[in-house]
Chain A
Amino acid sequence: MDSADRWQRIDELFYAALDLEPQARPAFLQQACGVDIELLREVESLLDSSAQTLEYAREAVLQLAHQNLEPQPAGRQVGAYELLRIIGEGGMGTVYLAARADELYRQEVAIKLMRPGFGPSQGMLLRFSAERQILANLNHFNIARLLDGGMTADGLPYLVMEYVNGIAIDDYCRQNNLSVDHRLQIFRTVCAAVEYAHKSLVVHRDIKPANILVTTEGVPKLLDFGIAKLLNPQAGSLAPTRTLERAMTPEYASPEQLRGDQITTATDVYALGVLLYELLTGRRPFQLRTKSPLEVAQIICEQDPEPPSRVVTASPERGAQHAAARRLRGDLDNIVLMAMRKEASRRYTSVAALSADVQAYLTGYSVHAGADSWSYRGGKFVRRHRVAVSVAIVAVLALIGFSAGMGLLARRATEQRRIADEQRLAAQREADFLTGIFHASTPETAKGSEITARELLDQSAKRIDTELAITPEVQATLLFNLADAYEQLGLNDQAQPLLERAYSLRKKQFGDGSFVVATTADALAHAYRMGGHYAKAEVLFRQALQTAQKAPGDNTPAIAKMLSDLAFCLYSESQDAEAASQFRKSLVLNPKPDNGDGAITRSLLAQVLDRKGDLSGAWQLGNEAVEILERVEGPTFHLAIARHILAGVLRDMGNLLKAERLERQTLVLWRKVGGSHVDVAYSIDNLGVILLAEGGWKQAQPLLWEALSIRQKQFGAEHPLVGTSLLNWGRVLQAKGDYKGAEGYFRQALDMQRETIGPQSWRLENVLENFALLQLDRGDYPGAERYARQALEMSRRLGGEVHPDVATSLVDVALARELQGDAAGAEPLLRTALAVRKKLFSPGHPAIVAAQTRLGEALIEEGKPQLAEPILREAVNSAHHEPFPLLAWQVAAPEHALGVCLAKQGYAAEAETLLKNSRVPLNSYPEAAVRWWMLRHLQNL
């Protein structure tokens, strides 16, 4: 194959493979390539690269383009200065050489002119001046002074700085072939400058070789001090990817910068560590250029750098490097790595300390930095997964490491006095640190990492008691956050006891009117509810609300959320009326009802209304919620839930096909969002139920089995959700014809719902209803009637007279009566059912059509076809003009009934047409009783 053909082939295979699911690709390629291993490898490597981005290349082109096409500045005036020429190009603006425009004296300065959009807005200019003052006061020989600043006529901010005629420090060291000692000395000078600034509470934030110029006399000068902070006062709160976009040298970005955490002097320590790494080895610690922002964040937060000594020996350069490597091994390695530790608190506590260690090395004294003795490097604990989860691991490791670190500190005799203070301070810092960290993990990102994170969490849980000598206050915080982390991993059982302890600790600490206690109670109640202990949860939710309402300050948003939590709990207990009212209260209280939280509350209220039978209300709210979430949040966890609920409403409205479509969409969304198994189970279960209702038990079977397995694995033996899944599985068996098997599962479900929720609940009613249908299928009509009447009574009690389930139960009882030969007794029940449905649904709704069909059939049985006819004609009419798509049997049933009705009255021709049209496979009818009726009347054809 010549190269043109070969490329053609590669092209074909690439696109063909891309169209397949990832799992299907290897097999496809194997088959397509056969013996041509080269070709296979080629296409595979291209497929691997296909997910990558070339943004960095585009940015590079853009940067160069800017430089090239920018107009020459000669003669341009900025403030009191005249621009002479360009001397530098940065991400945020261009640096020019300039001179004072007046003739008084020729002072050369560097002017950094910001690109529009990167500089501060009008409002920030005030802060700008104040901060500028601080920076201008930084008077240090090794810091390029900030002289002035302002805004040009066209609104571009600029800064005037001391002009430094030098080259970047890494180039300087390389070009002059400096020895290791010499490099270390220059490094120490740089450290001195940074330390000086730290004493004035200024953090550089952007230390990198391009910002450290060395003059021909060998004097290093630091540039752009604190500039980043001037321009972005909330720089610490930037999202990680944003930070990276702005950072032209991501290799120097610290883990905390990427996480959006507090930037402290430790951030500069980290950057200095990277600088030292580069000065000693000639290389950056991480190779990041071709990586996407997320990969970069992952590498920086997770991956340990290769120790400098190993890098130097690996590079193919002159023999002198080997000598250098020997020097680097040991102490210098440790110094660099300690400065570069991922957790800020484990680095050198100050730049001075770092510099002192370098000095100690240079003069032969022992160095403080010790090699990492804990095995958290590489291998065992660190796995490739998304940043937010690894961040949680890092935090937990900090917890473990912290305690061991405290031990080390204790052993140093000279530090003894400071231990008590340090401990307390550090512990508080640690607690805050963890609080921030744990909130960064969400179900969206915890996929695939449960095992490792779990081990670590378990260890931490033990250590909170044993090793850390901390105040109960901090202990409660740690317990709380640890519980949160467990919850994120779906381990509710582990979280509960931790929350109980946190709650009791905080109650003791803060008393009854504290907001913190309220939120803790809310969290614990939430855990109870997740575990299916609804009654306990309800009590605690109410308590949490009470406490929150007593607490000082305006806690409205939190209270709105707690109301919503209580409402959902009530819903789980089938107390729908109060649930709806609490949800409504929550919505009213919510200051921003059109945000994510408000939308979810709406969605949950829709779910309640759905069950109450107010389907149009449910549809309206549910739809609103989905629209809001699509607009405000995009594809998220919340949206998946809202869509799932809406699918349920559609199902109950009878629009099965639309419900199916929506639920399938939701499943895809769950996968995208990384929903936990339990979350996804809701959708799988619902989809199965919808398919069963459509008559497709074969498709429903694997889904309902999966939902059951997931729930059993998650919740164990006793949980209402497991009960529901047992019931649904039983229904599959019933549809298959395995009545005995179905009964077994129904019985388990019945017992489980009674045990977990109590004697009255919708879930229980659901089981009874299905039991009735099962007995109908088996031919045990008296048994069916018994169950159906029980279901009817419970429906009436829970939902009132006008409720969809009441109508359904009435129909079931009527069917049972009819099959026992009492069509006359069935008739009034069916009339009531029809009346109820007419009140609940819009005219022509399939549920109304079904009730009309049943009533018509009963009237035929009673020998009154002429009474049946108008009813059935209406039914057939509706079925044909139904605004939303009906299944074949939904249309066929009334047609068939009308056909029989007409046949009985002697209208043979019309009857025949109808009966022919309504021939639908018998087993597409989901209900056996209907099938039975069909069978009986087939003889009449």
Chain B
Amino acid sequence: MVEAPAGVEGQGFFATSLDTVIGLARANSIWPLPFATSCCGIEFMATMGSNYDLSRFGSERLSFSPRQADLLMVMGTIAKKMAPVLKHVYEQMAEPRWVISVGACASSGGIFDTYSVLQGIDRIIPVDVYVPGCPPRPEQIIDGVMKIQELVKSESLRRRNQPEYKALLASYGIE
């Protein structure tokens, strides 16, 4: 059960702001798009399995199409040749969208300090939450998703119209 947001309660009615209700609904029905390229993706499979069960947090339904996904989960080493593909996937996602970078490789290049590997996905797309680890345990991935939930709950509904957000996307060259 999700706890009710702060509001005014009386007999037969409950009043709160629309923002918090929609934030609550969004936070508990996030559709993740797993972009799994290596061993962090294996940990994600365990995260989705019955032992750890990410669907307890409303992320029941994985979307393998970026157009329906809310959360891009990048898990694994991103080669420089893969970078335009990842950016393309991000650009196809509809607002509102969030990005979680799982593991050392996606966050910073990790041990692959080499000419062929992208040194962190934040060089090509904005990232909301970083999950450290090589690979992180399923608990850590769940913690990262819960951090995303906190963001989703507290964020303005029309984040896409905010000047800071527009400036952030423009700094990545994303329309």
Whether both chains belong to one complex is answered with: no
Interface residues of B (CB under 8 A from A): none
Interface residues of A (CB under 8 A from B): none
